[in-house]
Amino acid sequence: MKRLTVREGVPVSLDANMALAVRRRLIALQGELRPRIGFLSGTDALPVVRNLVGSVQISPDLVLDIEPKTEPNGNWAAALIDLIVDDRVEYGGQTHEASHLPRLVLADALARLYAEQLDGAVRREGPLAVLVQQDTTRQRLVGRLDVSKWVTHSLIHPTEFPQRQTTLTIDNDYTRALGWVAEALAVRCTDAQLAARLRHIAARLRPGLAPHTTVDPGVATRHIPAQWRAYAPAWSTACAVLRRVSPVHRSGLLEGFGLALEPWPLLERLLLRSLYAAAEQSAAAGKPLRAQGHSSHALLSAAQVGDPRPPLARLARARGVEPDGSLWVGSRVVATFEAKYSRADSDTTFRSHVFQAMTTAAALDSPMAVLVYPEASEPVTWAVHGFHGKPMRFSAIGIDMFGYRRGAGDELRGQRLLRLVTDQLGGSPTDPPC
């Protein structure tokens, strides 16, 4: 099988047939996953992959490996794993395994992490069994009799008792989901030994049961039972996978769809984790600071239009802004943040980013507006003219998205954001700006 490595946002020079195959596959993928930003741009001869990193199976003999646009030098696959795993599940706060992963394609890195998590849980606790209620019909009563159904059928089948039986079983929603994810990752990864290991662990998780099963994606909203907390790391990873690959049909998995992710939501998640870390550090220093994620704020009230309604009345509805993150002291905003998954190589792109960030800050009466980019970069700050000091400072900073590691990575980025705000607003961010 041929593997072709391309960079996100860079035109790919291919022969006509291969370029057509790439375009068709990415268009089909957009229909399956319905991203907010399309995966394909460029021309027919020079397609450009955007808003997608990882690996995509283009044809039975071609896999497209897509690297991030920021040209990261480190293990960017492990960084994405730390970002896609849900941090609300408590299992030590860090995915230590991710820091030891070799440089792999995203599917292999995630499969290796999941194998370590699931294997450790099965070795420690054995197969995950829970109480399940099942409706059965048996010739002896071992559960709760369904009287209405029995009365209806007793004349025809007097020795059969319809009943609801509660049993402790390993064939439950949790093991089905964990086993399904193991198989999904096994068919995606390029390491045959790793794929075999995942399938072996899944067989130990569900001994004696069918290896292939269907799963309800809604199970990803559930929490693992408290008595099975050893499975929490594997369950967190499984839920992250379920939320992202559930639109792909089983046949697609068996064809080796690959594992690809939209990176821009992960940048917003990294920003929010960093802001929470900054707020915690400020609070530890005795300066109360509150972090907030997406929030809606008014910018324009609905316009009043009379009769007859002018054609532009179609635009008269109220308008608002929604920062990707913000820092607050009580009811006063200190800084607003906009995450932009972009290199901002052109003045036109950067100009639109500036206007969005400035408008949002002005609507919230924020003294500072910050643009956050995925690359690694020290901050650059401009003085703002006009706006009556709201905002009075504008900054752009790169938070090294693809060099991230959970825990220490949150603390480091929190320190950088807190220092940026403190330095630009003069002393403590909790003090009123001059």
Mean pLDDT value across residues 128-141: 74
pLDDT above 70 covers what percent of the chain? 85
| pLDDT for 291 | 94
Rounded CA gap, 355 and 3, in Å? Answer: 41
Inside any domain, residue 39: yes
Q: How far is CA 423 from CA 281, 417, 428, in A?
A: 15, 10, 8
Tell me, yes or no, whether 209 and 247 share the same domain: yes
Residue 93 in this model has a pLDDT that exceeds 80: no
Q: How far is CA 7 from CA 55, 252, 363, in A?
A: 11, 24, 37
Which region, left, alpha or beta, applies to residue 313 given φ > 0 means left and ψ of -120 to 50 means alpha?
alpha
| pLDDT for 44 | 81
Rounded CA gap, 146 and 148, in Å? Answer: 6
Closest CA to 416 of 357, 335, 318: 335
The helix (H) or strand (E) run that includes residue 118 is helix 106-125
Tell me, yes or no, whether 118 and 224 share the same domain: yes
Rounded CA gap, 266 and 83, in Å? Answer: 6
| pLDDT for 51 | 84
Mean pLDDT value across residues 197-205: 92
Residue 62 in this model has a pLDDT that exceeds 50: yes
Inside any domain, residue 247: yes
- pLDDT tier, 89 (very low <50, low <70, confident <90, very high otherwise): very low
Number of compact structural domains in the chain: 4
| pLDDT for 17 | 86
- Select from 169, 190, 224 the last residue of a domain: 169
Which residue would you say has higher pLDDT here, 147 or 330? 330
Q: Are strands 130-138 and 161-169 parallel, antiparallel or unpaired?
A: antiparallel
The residue type of 306 is G
- pLDDT tens readout for residues 105-120: 677 778 888 898 899 8
| pLDDT for 248 | 36
Contact by Cβ (8 Å): 313, 305: yes
- pLDDT tier, 104 (very low <50, low <70, confident <90, very high otherwise): low
Rounded CA gap, 113 and 198, in Å? Answer: 11
Tell me, yes or no, whether 396 and 410 share the same domain: yes
Inside any domain, residue 432: no
Inside any domain, residue 307: no
Q: How far is CA 342 from CA 137, 212, 324, in A?
A: 60, 40, 15
Rounded CA gap, 422 and 339, in Å? Answer: 20
User: What average pLDDT is seen over the chain?
Assistant: 81
- The range of the structural domain enclosing residue 347 comes to 264-300+317-425
Q: What is the CA radius of gyration of the chain?
A: 26
Inside any domain, residue 433: no
Mean pLDDT value across residues 147-157: 76
Tell me, yes or no, whether 323 and 347 share the same domain: yes
Rounded CA gap, 402 and 367, in Å? Answer: 30
DSSP string, 189-230: -S-HHHHHHHHHHHHHHSTTS-S-----GGGGGSPPPGGGGG
| pLDDT for 94 | 33
Peptide bond into 323 cis (omega under 30): no
Tell me, yes or no, whether 123 and 137 share the same domain: no
Tell me, yes or no, whether 144 and 99 share the same domain: no
Contact by Cβ (8 Å): 423, 370: no
**DSSP E strand boundaries for 197-324:** 260-261, 290-292, 297-300, 319-321
Cβ atoms within 10 Å, residue 157: 12
Q: For residue 321, what are the β-bridge partners?
A: 297
Which residue would you say has higher pLDDT here, 102 or 64? 64
| pLDDT for 335 | 95
Tell me, yes or no, whether 245 and 283 share the same domain: no
Tell me, yes or no, whether 340 and 358 share the same domain: yes
- pLDDT tens readout for residues 29-57: 777 667 778 888 888 888 888 888 877 77
Tell me, yes or no, whether 290 and 322 share the same domain: yes
Tell me, yes or no, whether 321 and 367 share the same domain: yes
**Least confidently predicted of 9-23, 80-94, 184-198, 370-384:** 80-94
Q: For residue 370, what are the β-bridge partners?
A: 337, 395
| pLDDT for 32 | 65
Q: Find the CATH number of the domain harbouring 373.
A: 3.40.1350
CA 240 to chain centre: 7
- pLDDT tens readout for residues 254-307: 333 356 677 888 899 999 999 999 999 999 988 889 999 999 999 999 988 888
| pLDDT for 253 | 33
